[in-house]
Amino acid sequence: MKRESVSSMTKRVKGSCTTVLVGKKASIDGSTIISRNDDGHEALDPQRFVVVQPEDQPRNYQAVISGVKVELPDNPMRYTSMPNSILTNGIWPAAGINSENIAMSATETITTNPRIQGIDPYVGGGIGEEDLVTLVLPYIHSAKEGVERLGALLKQYGTYEPNGIAFSDQDDVWWLETIGGHHWAAVRIPDDAYVVAPNRMNIDDFDFDSADTLCSDDLQALIEDNHLNPDFEGYNLRHIFGSSSIKDTVYNNPRAWYGQKYFTPEVEQDPMDQDLPFICHANRKISIEDVKFVLSSHFENTKYDPYGDGTEAEKTLIRPIGINRNHNVHILQIRNGVPAEIAGVHWLAYGANTFNTVVPFYSNVNDTPACYKDATGTFDMNNMYWLSCATALLGDTDYNFYVDFRNTFELQAMSAYHGIQNETDKAVADQSDVQKFLEAANEKLAEESFTRQTKLFGDMVISGSEKMKLRYNLND
């Protein structure tokens, strides 16, 4: 999650994002997918989509929030990044794909409890969400290596907050959760599985002897020596280190419930259940459109939908996934069955997710389209971030009136993006300069997206003007 402006560590605000992870056998095309709504405390926080070149990567990094100094290696790779436009509180890169097609999304703010905090308290001068992509993504050659590098940094520097971080490559998806100031645990997501992770400790059953788990060297001993396990058998890390609070029942658990309800509708569950499963299996193969729907959702077809027919108490009881505090949604896809030059796709949209579409930008490029790159803190309808925010705001004034405009726009826009992507994929083998060719494809995608988003906004303004309250029916 992105946070409001902070002038000191004591003013940090916690709690926001939603993550969806998909293994390669669970996706429709055999790709791995890690995705997240990058939400914040404030409704607006302008975002940019950039490429960081090796020569622009810092060698002596210093965080703004904690002041931690980290000396970085001399061999960084190129990577896509999504920094804040206003850098008062640091870069906050959010997510990206590096030149070896390794993806990272950081972070999902999670929960903790006082038992672990009393043993391994947070480190005020440690690393946090502001820093992690910059410190890890340019240096890793596999998803597992990402877990190992971040784990070593946590051991050395500590962290001042609890976070969940996703990594992926063509074969693997890994999920790491920080525990206390210096500890952590990570799970390789099974190839045939998916995960919906809200702002809570998400890892449940954990096998310390499995090849598909990694953790701090002393984590099992820490649990045993300090009597942290409330269960009679096994190790459920959510029970051991998580919160299980009343807030979780209305802020976190329902988001996992709705995502699982969408992907696995035959399983009946309680939206407030503290023990909703971490690893899940869908009743079909999952598409990019499926992931985007979940990350845009607001409990459609339930009494909890803020735009629905429930009572006012029901409509405001639980926190939606799609919300006014969505600053960007990124879906990082590492494809199989295509040349490595086009395997990484950084799908992206800005603003509240109810009235936008994700665009499939190729990550193997040296630059990004201006309308996605150049947002500032000044409102500007020529920039995709501000155009998306304006469209969502207008749509919120009468969702049921505007939703058909949105549905038509989304269908037609996604069809156009897939068409451009299919043409680009087929032609890439004939190109002498692949990166320039992909940059041109990204420009075409951005132009298509911006044109269609502008048309959607215009259609909504024209049609909505007839419904304004400031009108009188008797003609002069």
Supply the pLDDT for residue 2: 45
CATH number of the domain residue 240 falls in: 3.60.60.10
DSSP notation for 52-114? E-GGGS-SEEE-SSS--EEE--S-PPPEEE--BSS-TT-----EEEBTTS-EEEEEEE----H
Specify if 25 maps to a domain. Answer: yes
Domain-terminating residue out of 333, 368, 403: 368
Q: Is the pLDDT of residue 299 over 90?
A: yes
pLDDT in tens, 258-275: 999 999 999 999 999 999
Specify if 388 maps to a domain. Answer: no
For residue 354, how many C-alpha atoms fall within 13 Å in the half-sphere facing its CB? 29
Supply the pLDDT for residue 101: 98
115 with 168, same domain: the answer is: yes
Q: Average pLDDT in the 238-257 region?
A: 97
199 with 302, same domain: the answer is: yes
Supply the pLDDT for residue 228: 98
352 with 411, same domain: the answer is: no
Closest CA relative to residue 370, chosen from 356, 384, 360: 384
Specify if 167 maps to a domain. Answer: yes
Specify if 169 maps to a domain. Answer: yes
**C-alpha span between 110 and 119 (Å, rounded):** 18
Confidence of residue 79 (pLDDT cuts 50, 70, 90): very high
Q: Is the pLDDT of residue 9 over 50?
A: no
Catalytic: 17?
yes
181 with 124, same domain: the answer is: yes
Supply the pLDDT for residue 375: 96
pLDDT in tens, 171-219: 999 999 999 999 999 999 999 999 999 999 999 999 999 999 999 999 9
Supply the pLDDT for residue 475: 65
**C-alpha span between 344 and 349 (Å, rounded):** 17
**C-alpha span between 52 and 95 (Å, rounded):** 12
Confidence of residue 473 (pLDDT cuts 50, 70, 90): confident
**C-alpha span between 132 and 209 (Å, rounded):** 27
Domain-terminating residue out of 322, 351, 368: 368
> What is the pTM assigned to this prediction?
0.96
Supply the pLDDT for residue 3: 40
141 with 188, same domain: the answer is: yes
Supply the pLDDT for residue 439: 98
40 with 175, same domain: the answer is: yes
Q: Is the pLDDT of residue 450 over 70?
A: yes
Closest CA relative to residue 37, chosen from 349, 261, 391, 368: 349
Range of the domain at 443: 395-466
471 close to 399: Cβ distance less than 8 angstroms: no
Confidence of residue 361 (pLDDT cuts 50, 70, 90): very high
- Give 322's DSSP letter: S
**C-alpha span between 304 and 299 (Å, rounded):** 6
pLDDT in tens, 17-65: 999 999 999 999 999 999 999 999 888 999 999 999 999 999 999 999 9
Supply the pLDDT for residue 437: 98
> Which two tokens mark 376?
């500032």
Domain-terminating residue out of 368, 403, 434: 368
Q: Is the pLDDT of residue 11 over 80?
A: no
Supply the pLDDT for residue 360: 98
Specify if 376 maps to a domain. Answer: no
Specify if 80 maps to a domain. Answer: yes
72 with 217, same domain: the answer is: yes
Closest CA relative to residue 29, chosen from 402, 271, 291, 293: 291
Specify if 8 maps to a domain. Answer: no
356 with 410, same domain: the answer is: no
Task: Spot the catalytic one: 17, 215, 280, 371.
Answer: 17
Supply the pLDDT for residue 63: 97
333 with 454, same domain: the answer is: no
**What's the total number of domains in the chain?**
2
Q: Is the pLDDT of residue 164 over 50?
A: yes
Specify if 378 maps to a domain. Answer: no
Q: Is the pLDDT of residue 143 over 60?
A: yes
CA 305 vs CA 60, 61, 232, 313, 320: distances in Å:
47, 44, 39, 11, 8
- Of residues 431 and 43, more confidently modeled: 431
108 with 242, same domain: the answer is: yes
Q: Average pLDDT in the 367-372 region?
A: 98
Supply the pLDDT for residue 41: 86
Q: Is the pLDDT of residue 387 over 50?
A: yes
Closest CA relative to residue 150, chosen from 112, 106, 115, 208: 106
Q: Is the pLDDT of residue 94 over 70?
A: yes
How many CB atoms are located within 10 Å of the residue 220 CB? 16
Confidence of residue 358 (pLDDT cuts 50, 70, 90): very high
Q: How much of the chain exceeds pLDDT 70, in percent?
A: 96
200 with 296, same domain: the answer is: yes
- Give 8's DSSP letter: S
Supply the pLDDT for residue 476: 57
Q: Is 171 helix (H, G, I), strand (E, B) or coil?
A: coil
- Of residues 295 and 42, more confidently modeled: 295
298 with 424, same domain: the answer is: no
